[in-house]
Amino acid sequence: MLRSSTSLILHVAALIAFTFTGVTLGCGSPGDGEPSSDTEAALHSTAFPEAHPVPEDQVVVLEEGANQAASIPTSSAAFDYYVLALSWSPQHCATPAGNRDSTQCMGPRPFGFIVHGLWPQYERGWPEDCGGGPSLSPTTIRSMMDIMPSERLIRHEWRKHGTCSGLAPNDYFALTRKAFSVFQTPSGYGTPESAINVKPASYKQAILDANPSLNARTIAVICSGRFLQEVRICLDKNLQARPCGSGVRDRCNVPEMIVRPLR
């Protein structure tokens, strides 16, 4: 009789534990337009030392296929796709905020593209500040510093976008790293020693040539005035390229844009 009662108690406890672990985070209502790079640029400052960098020539492109997809943390949250926002670091470092950013702009490593964020998106608008997510550990923050060299940026991106992903912090940032590894900087543009003047359409085509899985509908090139600021890539929940929604579009309205050199 005692053995039977103990088994019943353990069974009920297991059911309760299963029920609570199945809860997922909810997200708020979509906004209009798209997140502002200019507003978030001021977040690039950090109290953490730079992590061991990953050389640009060692970035690996994910192979397509079921085995790769199975290794990707997949969200069941109610959004349609991700935007991977990649900031051109030299542009940030040329701003007043960059002049105060010792880690990203004055350290031993000259950064090219860094991760601005991985943003859950709707076809129109996006969720943000969904709340309910756990705090980030120092270990998680340090693990991302080689591709997101700012503690404040990492914390901000988790609060504003990561909490809407339906993923735990470690899974969200692991997914962010995988998404970053999908992208290859075009040959000749990865480590420029002097400024490059190029037509926005030509630069976009160079990206497509370097990344055959992308097409013109899956990326957007963003400028700040005449200067390259970001590249945004639209990915499904398995990190495969897909067409961008209505709010993600090219914003380089100049005959020629300038790609700043590394610094």
Q: Is 40 a catalytic residue?
A: no
Which one of the listed residues 44, 116, 128, 230 is annotated catalytic? 116
* 158 found inside a domain: yes
The one catalytic residue among 40, 44, 92, 161: 161
Pairwise CA distance, residues 100 & 49, whole Å: 15
Report yes or no on 151 lying in a domain.
Answer: yes
Is 171 contained in some domain?
Answer: yes
Contact 136, 29 (CB under 8 A): no
Question: pLDDT tens, 158-206?
Answer: 999 999 999 999 999 999 999 999 899 999 999 999 999 999 999 999 9
State yes or no: pLDDT of 151 exceeds 80: yes
| Interval 108-134: pLDDT, tens | 889 999 999 999 999 999 999 998 778
The reply to whether 44 belongs to the active site is no
Looking at residue 22, its amino acid is G
Least confident among 48-57, 92-101, 145-154, 199-208 = 48-57
Task: Please state whether 65 falls in left (phi above 0), alpha (psi between -120 and 50) or beta.
Answer: left
Tokens of 109: 């490593």
Q: What angle do CA 176, 125, 206 make, to 5 degrees?
A: 55
Whether residue 214 is contained in a domain is answered as yes
Residue 16 lies in a domain: no
- 95 CB burial (10 A radius; 0-12, 13-18, 19+): middle
Number of independent structural domains in the chain: 1
Residue 113 lies in a domain: yes
For the entire predicted model, the pTM comes to 0.75
Q: Is 116 a catalytic residue?
A: yes
DSSP line for the chain: -HHHHHHHHHHHHHHHHHHHHT---------SS---HHHHGGG---SSPPPPP--GGG--PPPPSHHHHHTSPPP-SS--EEEEEEEEHHHHHTSHHHHT-HHHHHSSS---EEEEEEEEE-SSS-------PPPPPHHHHHHHTTTS--HHHHHHHHHHTGGGTTS-HHHHHHHHHHHHHH--PPTTTSS-SS-EEE-HHHHHHHHHHH-TT--TTSEEEEEETTEEEEEEEEE-TTS-B----TT---B--SSSEEEPPP-
Q: Does residue 48 sit within a domain?
A: yes
Mean per-residue pLDDT, 81-98:
96
Catalytic residue of the set 34, 40, 151, 157: 157
The domain that holds 69 is classified in CATH as 3.90.730.10
* Residue 15 to residues 4, 8, 12, 18, 20, Cα–Cα distance (Å): 17, 11, 5, 5, 9
Range of the domain at 65: 32-259
